[in-house]
Structure 1
Amino acid sequence: MLPEEYDRRRVLPRHLRTVRAEPEFSFTIRPATIRDIPAIRSIHSHYVLNSSVTLEDRPKTIAEWRRTFDVLERLRLPFLVAESGTHTIIGYALAEPWKPRSAYRKIVEHSIFLSPASTGRGLGKALLVALIDAATATGCKEMIAVIADEKADASVRLHERLGFRETGRMGKVGRKFGRWLGTITMVKPLKRRR
């Protein structure tokens, strides 16, 4: 084969040269409904079974998720979902009572989980901002984040950018996948806008 013939063959045909843009990543954040529970469970179960971002060692059942939903609804605490343009649940965020004692009733701990395909696109920040706003509107005074310390840098930076400050670390408090893990606790005061 002559060099000029080889060069012609290396060029892709015109129909294969079209660059297809990735569809725009868009989502809507809204209050969770009971119908969202199976999708929420699926997202959370992925992290329970495959990562150390949560120290839970077994996925919650649908019944347990329904109880969580009912408690948060009764306490008027936020439980939000992110829904894609195709109406698929791609993430969730919730604020639960930090402790059961009534003295702590205005202090919440948050949880945020995203579908694996939705990470790194700004959705976590959007959900956390929406959750902070919703918790503030309900009269919560502080929000606590308890972050598993393995590969936590991005989560810690996000929380710092949104006004959380580190208040403590606990080493080797949870065992998962055959190793001991610690936690980082971060706190943000919630202030109503005037």
Structure 2
Amino acid sequence: MPTTALEIRPAVPDDLADVARIYAHYVEHTLATFDTEPPTLETWHDKHAALTRAGWPFLVATGPLADDDAPHVLGFAYTGQYRPKAAYGRTVEETIYLDPAATGQGLGGRLLDAVLDGARDAGAREVIAVIADGPDPDDPAGTVARTPSATLHERHGFGAAGRLEDVGHKHGRWVAVTLYQRSLRPPA
């Protein structure tokens, strides 16, 4: 994927069918989300409208995919208030997903940086990422599988802030989550 053709921009309603398609892959085939059924396109429109109305960033990365030079939505990222109580008003949860065909090319880092910049500009102070993991299915000892998402977030300044064991059940197994946190406050 040539980096000159990549564009990261605010999502518009016409992008949301691709957002839904990308996310559906992760719902159906991975533990990356605890959704067990893909949200409807209407749900994505509602989420997009609510987040943008609240002033939080909802971004897409577009560019060529494989041998097709036409622009495609290659990934998306957004932030929204971490929890609904007023005191959490400047703490956001960040979400990022890439089209499986666009992984491993540095796109995740660029999209993550852009959404963090947007969150900072919108007034966020702290960012939380909730990253699912679980026993490595290829290891009978049950060691925790390292996820690309955890690696991405650590490379971009997030640190593990806590772990919740066996809080989800999906695809026939129990899944833990690790909470990662990054401050957007300027250095002292």
1:136/1:192 contact within 8 Å kept: no
CA distance in 2 between partners of 1:181 and 1:33 (Å): 33
- Does the alignment pair 1:105 with 2:89? yes
User: Of 126, 137, 142, which residue of structure 1 is paired with 2:126?
Assistant: 142
CA distance in 2 between partners of 1:181 and 1:135 (Å): 28
CA distance in 2 between partners of 1:49 and 1:154 (Å): 18
CA distance in 1 between partners of 2:36 and 2:127 (Å): 24
Aligned to 1:72: 51
| Secondary structure, counterpart of 1:180 in structure 2 | strand
Alpha-carbon shift at residue 155 of structure 1 (Å): 2.1
1:27/1:83 contact within 8 Å kept: yes
Alpha-carbon shift at residue 24 of structure 1 (Å): 3.3
| Secondary structure, counterpart of 1:60 in structure 2 | coil
Aligned to 2:171: 177
- Does the alignment pair 1:60 with 2:39? yes
Report the TM-score when normalising by structure 1. Answer: 0.84
Structure 1 counterpart of 2:25, which letter? H
Unaligned 5+ segments in structure 1 are 1-22
Residues matched between the structures, number:
171
Report the TM-score when normalising by structure 2. Answer: 0.86
Aligned to 2:2: 24
Q: 4+ runs of 1 displaced by more than 4 Å? A: none
Q: Which moved more, 1:172-181 or 1:146-155?
A: 146-155
Taking only aligned residues, the RMSD between alpha carbons, in angstroms, comes to 1.5
Q: Aligned ranges for residues 113-192 of structure 1 at < 5 Å? A: 113-150=97-134, 151-191=145-185
Alpha-carbon shift at residue 192 of structure 1 (Å): 5.1
CA distance in 2 between partners of 1:54 and 1:165 (Å): 20
Structure 1 counterpart of 2:47, which letter? T
Unaligned 5+ segments in structure 2 are 65-69, 135-144
Query: Is the radius of gyration larger for structure 1 or structure 2?
Result: 1
CA distance in 1 between partners of 2:146 and 2:80 (Å): 21
